[in-house]
Chains A and B, each alone.
Chain A
């Protein structure tokens, strides 16, 4: 009988899981900000290019 525990990483402790969630949330928020800023920038570039076309 295979030991299934050998195939998977050990389950994170509660403290580890909370820390991982905190970091994941930070990364997601940063990504949201960057993508939003990019959308605004592309919109602004488009407006300027159209106005000076």
Chain B
């Protein structure tokens, strides 16, 4: 009987949950959030059904890009503790099926976006998928420690797409929101990679701590956080928002910079490795998630109050 049960457990069979996991639901939730804020901030009106469709398309496109990312990276995913239980490396889902699923969703989301809103939004959506899959996943990730810097643009597209879905063109405010996510991505991921660098090293992914060391990574985090802080208040300085957003951005960014400074001054050995179990970096990673959520909520609240 035990042998039979073991055989059942070993039998490769796909559950619907595995297809869902392939879409990287956590990443999709962030993308939906920033895309919806972009759509909300845009001047003009979009029928609620079309607005819902636009956000759904952004979510599905992000999921499709995630599925194609998992298909392409199945070899390195199998080597990393954080990713080896994903459906493809775990053998629960055939790689070819995942690729077909990703391509179908990508094409479908772009077509529906074009039909429901406008061609410009569909084009931006296609560019965001292409950037994530071809530029970040296939080209940069395994080649350069700057992978996350340039690749971060892929995650910065949603507020632009949301805005374009309403207006049909790109404005200054969505470009500032794009810049905000673009500059937020490196310190966010480098904070994570500081304490997950063994995983990346094992898989041969040239993340900054693997290639340049922890000390250099901490300096990079601080530099990007300072630039991020300056850019975060630009919507207020340029008159696109009011003091509610401006003050929130200033305070949240000051805390982010303080966290980056704490990470830089973390107790380290001669090689720059943390002697505190990377506690500051772990807290900075968590704070970076709160930071982005609060900044985007603040800009929406600012518009509501105005």
Residues of A within 8 A of B (CB): 12-13, 15-16, 19-20, 23, 26-27, 29-30, 41, 44-45, 47-48, 52
Across-interface contacts of B11 in A (CB, < 8 A): 12, 16, 19-20
Whether A48 and B50, one on each chain, are in contact in the complex, defined by CB atoms closer than 8 angstroms, is: yes
- Once bound together, how far apart are the Cα atoms of A27 and B17, in whole Å? 9
A13, A23, A45 pick with most chain B CB within 10 angstroms: A45
Given contacts A19-B13, A26-B16, A27-B14, contact A45 B7 (CB under 8 A): no
- Once bound together, how far apart are the Cα atoms of A30 and B22, in whole Å? 15
- Once bound together, how far apart are the Cα atoms of A30 and B23, in whole Å? 15
**A-contact bits for B102-125, CB 8 A (1 contact / 0 none):** 000000000000011000000000
Whether B13 and A23, one on each chain, are in contact in the complex, defined by CB atoms closer than 8 angstroms, is: yes
- Once bound together, how far apart are the Cα atoms of A41 and B14, in whole Å? 27
Whether A48 and B7, one on each chain, are in contact in the complex, defined by CB atoms closer than 8 angstroms, is: no
- Once bound together, how far apart are the Cα atoms of A14 and B207, in whole Å? 48
Across-interface contacts of A52 in B (CB, < 8 A): 47
Residue of A nearest to B117 (CB): A45
Across-interface contacts of B53 in A (CB, < 8 A): 41, 45
Please give 10 more A-B residue pairs, beta carbons under 8 A apart, in addition to A13-B8, A16-B8: A13-B4, A15-B8, A20-B13, A23-B15, A27-B15, A29-B16, A45-B49, A45-B50, A45-B116, A48-B47
